[in-house]
Amino acid sequence: MKIAVAGTGYVGLVTGVCLAENGHNVTCVDIDYKKVALMNAGISPIYEPGLEELLAKNIDRLNFTTDYKEAYKNADVIFIGVGTPEKQDGSANLSYVFGVAEQIAESIERDCIVVIKSTVPIGTNDKIEDMIKSRLIHDVKVHVASNPEFLAQGTAVRDTLHASRIVIGVEEPSAGEILKKVYQDFDAPIVVTNRKSAEMIKYASNDFLALKISFINEIANLCEIIGADIEDVAHGMGYDSRIGNRFLNAGIGYGGSCFPKDTKALHWLANFHDNELKTVKAAIDVNENQKLKLIKKSRKYFDSFNGLSVAVLGLTFKPGTDDLREAPTLVNIPIMLEDGANIKAWDPVGVENFKKQYSNEITYCNTIEETIKDADVCFIFTEWDEVKDFNLSKYTELMKSPIILDGRNCYDLTSAKKAHIIYDSIGRETVNNYEVALV
């Protein structure tokens, strides 16, 4: 089947490459000439495990171009996978989606299905169909379908090829049958519903996971007060099949391109219809406060960061990606810098992106050892394997004062108690095996 994909970010590029892997001829459209040249050479412009290898493997079935008219005019199916960033008021910015829809209307020369892969508010598919049909240049039939993605950065290729489900929202049964054929070689059950239900499935799924994360973080905060251990609590909860054990890792909040944006967008949409989602609003509030958890913990040890050497391990919002969107570091590091901290930071893949925002204010290091050397305190913001596998004795050996504030619970307490350190994590007892004169 001849397929076009608008956008080559996480959603668009992963979708296009995975469709090619399953035998389709795919043309991906982007406005950036440099990105297009890279991709046509088999090089992925984004960091995502396994993506570049799959891109190179299927390069004969993939084409990348800036010529949207040529890409769209004879396509059987056109996927829209462009961004829907958050506006100041929390609503979704749909300008990129509508811009592509307008281009499609002006370009298509045959009957086709336009598939909205981007995360859009409920009812957007209806608006897009109306827009396209009102602006068609040629006498063709167009069906618009909702096909939300459920990939996670760091596991996006696997999540697409072996999805938990493929959701297809259509108003015409014939469009649903065609999309079933598109996905017939994918290893996933297919759910067919109407468009608004498909749009809501995406938001409800993401917001529920965000709720789960915020809930366990609130329980973790209470565990610290009453002397319970959040990891034992989560372990015990996880055996209940009604709850499950995923998304029960306490920490300093969720980030990335989906949960923060989608919780705010659904909350905004509900308010727009005079129907506040109190649980979603609570999840948003809890998450914003949780991002500052380590800063608050640090006040037990230092009144100020002024003149302190601060080590930061991990810059991205999660391991397995170079994405910084809504990363806790973007909230915490400005506070430290304003307070006079001298920051050294390490991340295996996120440094170049972080340099775009903080090029000279931070010293970037190539190793964890270099980062923590002579540091007064160490903050762990991302649970990279390199951090989890790091020998705790090195903190004592290399740091000026081995105070470790861990926002991702990278180390078990048994190991921490054997080390000559102060180890303060989330929802667990504080280990203090190091006598230090607090500033």
For the question of residue 378 being annotated catalytic, the response is: no
b/e code 376-403 from CB counts within 10 Å (16+ = b): bbbbbbbbbebbeebebeebeebbebbb
Instruction: Kindly state the DSSP code that residue 302 receives in the 8-state scheme.
Output: -
Residue 27 is encoded by which pair of tokens? 């043309």
Is 437 within the bounds of a domain?
no
Q: Are 274 and 346 within one domain?
A: no
What separation in angstroms does the CA of 306 have from each of 217, 258, 309, 335, 349? Answer: 29, 35, 9, 11, 28
- Residues listed for the chain: 439
Residue 319: per-residue pLDDT:
95
CA 89 to CA 265: how far, in whole Å?
9
Q: Are 300 and 286 within one domain?
A: no
Q: Are 241 and 320 within one domain?
A: no
Residue 133 is encoded by which pair of tokens? 């049909």
Is 362 within the bounds of a domain?
yes
CA 186 to CA 192: how far, in whole Å?
15
Q: Are 102 and 219 within one domain?
A: no
Active-site residue identified among 18, 28, 112, 258: 258
The CATH code of the domain that includes 227 is 1.10.1040.10
Q: Are 99 and 189 within one domain?
A: yes
Is 154 within the bounds of a domain?
yes
Q: Are 70 and 90 within one domain?
A: yes
Residues with Cβ within 8 Å of 88's Cβ and at least 6 positions away in sequence, in order, are: none
Q: Are 17 and 161 within one domain?
A: yes
Q: Are 280 and 229 within one domain?
A: yes
Helix (H, G, I), strand (E, B) or coil at 193: strand
Residue 113 is encoded by which pair of tokens? 């299905």
Q: What is the pLDDT of residues 260-286, one digit of tens each?
A: 999 999 999 999 999 999 999 999 999
Residue 182 is encoded by which pair of tokens? 């598109």
Last residue of a domain, one of 271, 290, 309: 290
Q: Residues 108, 136: contact at Cβ < 8 Å?
A: yes
Number of domains in the chain: 3
Residue 86: per-residue pLDDT:
87
Q: Residues 190, 165: contact at Cβ < 8 Å?
A: yes
Which residue ranges in the chain fall short of pLDDT 70?
435-439
Residue 420: per-residue pLDDT:
94
Residue 437: per-residue pLDDT:
44
Q: Residues 328, 291: contact at Cβ < 8 Å?
A: yes
Q: What is the pLDDT of residues 365-377, one digit of tens each?
A: 999 999 999 999 9
The CATH code of the domain that includes 117 is 3.40.50.720
Is 438 within the bounds of a domain?
no
Is 31 within the bounds of a domain?
yes
CA 183 to CA 19: how far, in whole Å?
8
Q: Are 247 and 381 within one domain?
A: no
Instruction: Kindly state the DSSP code that residue 432 receives in the 8-state scheme.
Output: E
What residues make up the domain containing 206? 202-290
Q: Are 143 and 185 within one domain?
A: yes
CA 373 to CA 146: how far, in whole Å?
52
Last residue of a domain, one of 193, 218, 248: 193
Query: Measured at the alpha carbon of residue 265, what is the angle toward residues 196 and 173, in degrees to the nearest 5?
Result: 15
Angle at which helices 124-134 and 195-226 cross, to 10°: 150
CA 259 to CA 151: how far, in whole Å?
12
Last residue of a domain, one of 290, 314, 333: 290
Q: Are 262 and 312 within one domain?
A: no
Q: Are 28 and 164 within one domain?
A: yes
CA 312 to CA 348: how far, in whole Å?
12
